[in-house]
Chains A and B, each alone.
Chain A
Amino acid sequence: MYRYDIHDQTLVDERVAQFRDQMERYQAGRLGEEEFRPLRLQNGLYIQKHAPMLRIAIPYGMLAGAQLRALADITRRYDRGYGHFTTRQNLQLNWPALEDVPDILGELAKVQMHAIQTSGNCIRNTTSDQFAGIANDEVEDPRPWCELIRQWSTLHPEFAYLPRKFKIAVSGAAQDRAAIQVHDIGLRLWRNDDGELRIKVLAGGGLGRTPMIGDVVREDLPWQHLLTYLEACVRVYNQFGRRDNKFKARIKILVKALGIEEFRRRVDEEWAHLKDGPQTLNQAAVEAAKVHFPEPDRRPVAASATEDFDKLRSENRSFARFVTNNVTDHKVPGYKAVTLSLKRREHAPGDVTADQMEAVADLADRYSFGEVRVTHEQNLVLSDVPVDELEALWKELDALGMANPTVGTLNDIICCPGGDYCGLANAVSIPIAQALQERFEDLDFLYDLGPLDLNISGCMNACGHHHVGHIGILGVDKKGEEYYQISIGGNSTDDASLGKILGPSFFREDVPGVVEKVLEVYVAERHEDERFLDTYRRIGLKPFKERVYAQQ
């Protein structure tokens, strides 16, 4: 886990003081609404429907137990005792008072946290793989690289007023769990035949109003040039990205307008000047970043413990379900990663109470070296649990309501805050998620369906990533009425694809029934062991469409 030194700490402390000064000027009327707007946004502060919203950065999803406890304390003192984990691995507070925000940022700084650049037209929090450092299929731990990017992008003097927001995701494994193909820039760390680390750079992916899969700008960037190459990409975007229409201002529109060859040519022309400049990385600088992510001091786990674990799994059906769905293999034998489900009907997807945050911090201390990770599917992960402690952890999670054995199933819905909270939303999204979770709660049915991503967004901005859900639901507004458009066939992993819209949108109360019909088509048409996504790819949209829109 990255620990601040005096420089990092000084910077966040000075940032708090700067924002306090800006807030005072705003309240005194010396700073206008328009002028204050980007300043507050670049400190994570939105003015929302009911109250301000504060988005706290969780760099590449890594949290220490002490930080989670501090977040619990902040939600109790300054909010309503809960927080919301987002699809970009951040935490949102829904009810802070505007005038308290400098104090909240001050509290965050005490535990090496901040809300810098979690919003606004700047480079946002870099996201990554929740299984970084422990995955079986990992080529290179992405976290030190994410940290180097975090530092390079934090208060970058040239890129604070980009045409639009800019999101970077990094994957270092064979399987992409960071959705790099749908980010402004996606980076994939890989090794060539000589074992040298290379970086594949994608640009122009994104969701929102005009969803697109990213194009490859460079296949094999040597790691030394990561920062200078990123600087060249963002500089080209800053100069040539559209500023006349905010809906056409993302880098994907520029890449599309220029064509990937011309975009690449401009980046390379720019990079020719920056290459080998003072921001070129060297081995020592990378090693210094890697020191922050050591292998934890794992005790040896006896081979018999794994046998006992397998035995329990075969005997205890509930435990087996939990293991199958919520437990992931680890690169170290005898260890597992455990996903804590934040998807329950009683709460919005991704919501956690202060009590739960503290309980998870305690579990992290006792079971997983005091660290927690946030996933872009809005769950939490304990990454280093010995197999002989899994049963005990499972029981404790069950008591907390966080052992819902549905990770990766239809029930594990990704969902934005929607019209209940968000000023941008066209329609509510949380009640849709809850209605679906209610309709499809039978575990055997869910398991029979297999892996299924259902994603819901309350508007075109696509915070709920509906385009890349196997089933995607989008709230739309028609003359003041809420409707829902349903698409199928999206996917955010290696073979990324964007969902296709079924047809005319539906009333809110009809959504669960429509999803049920889609599932019926899948169940009837699938080959043995065929995933929903593969059945769709084989048979196409038509059978689904015919079933859903059939005359009653």
Chain B
Amino acid sequence: MPSNDTQTEVVEQTPVHVDHLIENGELAAENAWCVSYDAEALPEQRPAFVPLALWQANQDDNELAPLLTSDTELTTELGSTLKGASAIAVDFPAFTDGRGYTIARLLRERYGYTGEIRAVGDVLVDQLDYMRRCGFSTMALRDDQHPEDALRALNAFSVRYQTDVEERQALFEKRLTASH
């Protein structure tokens, strides 16, 4: 199997905290969470998203939540383990890495996760609409992104052809309903 490991290149050791969080299509008043990429040690701050294994090893700390890397393979076992998470963060190591979209869809549509799914990392204005459609409920914007651009971008489209996490009827079905 080819290696998909784009994560190893940059490992942030200090917890990351961003100011602008999009929550349910609006700018959240505040962002309490930090994201820690350190695979060995827990951060001091709480609440914190920490790497999956660290979260699994510290399940008694209910101010921790799992951070999934983009190469996470969602097995049935992992899917059911994650049901117990208070929130799940999915990392975008680069905005061009589209694996996180699939991860969010699988969490929602296959494993029935109903809690918060947060996009973290290289999260840009022009990805938000797709992220929301794939099941992300919150998106932590990269620091240089303008929140007003983000809100505009989220409302760019009123039409979609496909089904997604929000839309359960494909346009081809809606058209049939409308014509009857």
Question: Which residues of A are interface residues toward B (Cβ below 8 A)?
Answer: 5, 7-8, 10-11, 14-15, 17-18, 21-22, 25, 30-31, 35, 38-39, 121, 148, 151-152, 154-163, 235, 238-240, 242-244, 248, 253-254, 257-258, 273, 277-279, 281, 284-285, 288-289
Contacts and interface: CB of A to CB of B under 8 A. Distances in A.
Contact of B156 (A18, A35, A242): A18
B99 A238 contact: yes
Given A155-B157, A244-B3, A288-B175, 20 more contacts: A11-B159, A11-B160, A14-B159, A17-B156, A30-B146, A30-B149, A31-B125, A152-B162, A156-B162, A158-B98, A158-B130, A158-B134, A158-B164, A163-B98, A238-B101, A240-B1, A242-B4, A284-B176, A285-B176, A288-B179
A279 B162 contact: yes
Given A18-B157, A35-B124, A279-B162, A158 B2 contact: no
B156 A257 contact: no
10 contacts: A21-B152, A30-B149, A152-B161, A157-B164, A158-B130, A158-B134, A161-B97, A238-B102, A242-B3, A244-B3
Contacts of B124: 35
- Is chain B's interface secondary structure helix, strand, loop, or mixed overall? loop
B177 to A, nearest CB: 10
Interface string B1-40: 1111110000000000000000000000000000000000
A10 B158 contact: yes
Q: A8, A22, A243: which has the most chain B beta carbons within 10 Å? A: A243
A21 B149 CA distance: 9
B4 A281 contact: no
B98 A160 contact: yes
Interface in B56-96: 73, 95-96
B171 A161 contact: no
A10 B159 contact: yes
Nearest to B157: A14
Nearest to B110: A273
Contacts of B171: 7, 151
Contacts of B131: 157
B169 interface: yes
Given A239-B73, A242-B4, A161 B101 contact: yes
Contacts of B1: 240, 257-258
A151 B2 contact: no
B2 A244 contact: yes
A395 to B, nearest CB: 44
Contacts of B73: 239
Interface of B: 1-6, 73, 95-99, 101-102, 105, 109-110, 124-127, 129-131, 133-134, 146, 149, 152-153, 156-164, 168-173, 175-176, 179
A14 B162 contact: no
Contacts of B4: 240, 242-244
A176 B124 CA distance: 42
Given A11-B159, A35-B95, A244 B6 contact: yes
Contacts of B153: 18, 21
Contact of A161 (B5, B96, B161, B175): B96
Given A235-B102, A239-B102, A157 B129 contact: yes
B84 to A, nearest CB: 22
Contacts of A289: 172
B160 A155 contact: yes
Contacts of B134: 157-158
Contact of B2 (A21, A31, A253): A253
Contacts of B5: 244
A529 B52 CA distance: 67
A147 B123 CA distance: 32
A239 B110 CA distance: 15
Nearest to A249: B2
A22 B110 CA distance: 34
Report the 4 A-B pairs with minimum CB-CB distance, sorted nearest first.
A161-B98, A157-B133, A157-B130, A285-B172
B6 A243 contact: yes
Contacts of A157: 101, 129-131, 133-134, 160, 162, 164
A21 B109 CA distance: 32
Contacts of A22: 126
B98 A154 contact: no
B173 A278 contact: yes
Contacts of A7: 159, 171, 175
B145 to A, nearest CB: 9
A162 B130 CA distance: 13
B3 A278 contact: no
Contacts of B6: 243-244
Q: A8, A17, A155: which has the most chain B beta carbons within 10 Å? A: A155
A248 B2 contact: yes
A273 B111 CA distance: 11
Q: B131, B157, B169: which has the most chain A beta carbons within 10 Å? A: B157
Nearest to B168: A278
A151 B157 contact: no
A157 B162 CA distance: 8
Contacts of A238: 98-99, 101-102
Given A30-B149, A161-B97, A148 B172 contact: yes
B87 to A, nearest CB: 21
A242 B1 CA distance: 10
